[in-house]
Amino acid sequence: MTIDDSELNGITVDGSYELAGVPDEFQRLWTPHRMVYIQNGQQPPEHECPFCIAPRMDDEKALIVARGTHAYVLLNLFPYNSGHLLVCPYRHVALYDEATAAETAEIAALTQTAMRVIKKVSRNEGFNIGMNQGRIAGAGIADHLHQHIVPRWALDSNFFPIIAKTKALPQLLGDVRRSIAEAWPTEPTDSAE
């Protein structure tokens, strides 16, 4: 195809490789929807905190599997593995050392119960448990304390996450929530044990 000089508005080019949109060695992923994140950051305002909103919702819709007095347990909306749970205090507090003794005791007790329930339901072989404290440490929602409980199996790692940046999750969130909630003990968690 011949390009007429009038089409280039006086710009001279030696070849088509100099024109915009011509393929080159770079892969470009256009993500204009990310401008909201870039301009505003990923941290929601306190009045929009998902961990403050969830307890006001229906358990099934909020993916809550259990409620305590000071904290509750819900499925991670973006799980690393099936059964990835979060334990959150109801109170909007950012750091573990800002939580009350009652909150930390109940977070610990709910974590232990969650581990027992997940082992019963999923027959997993191990866990990753932890908290990312602050944005610099990788906290997705840095302003509301939450502890991750990630069940692990010997064969849960494969090439997908490494090569394809994809995670295969064999169960739907609603099904996972239902199985964990149904297996959760009906007796309240005693944090004094």
Burial class (CB in 10 A: 0-12, 13-18, 19+), 167: middle
User: DSSP class of residue 193?
Assistant: -
Tell me how far apart the alpha carbons of residues 44 and 140 are, in angstroms, rounded to a whole number.
Answer: 10
Q: Which of 70, 84, 146, 148 is catalytic?
A: 146
Q: Is 146 a catalytic residue?
A: yes
Helix H or strand E encompassing 152: strand 147-152
Tell me how far apart the alpha carbons of residues 143 and 151 are, in angstroms, rounded to a whole number.
Answer: 25
The pairing of strands 85-89 and 64-67 is: unpaired
The pairing of strands 147-152 and 64-67 is: unpaired
**Which residues form the catalytic set?**
146
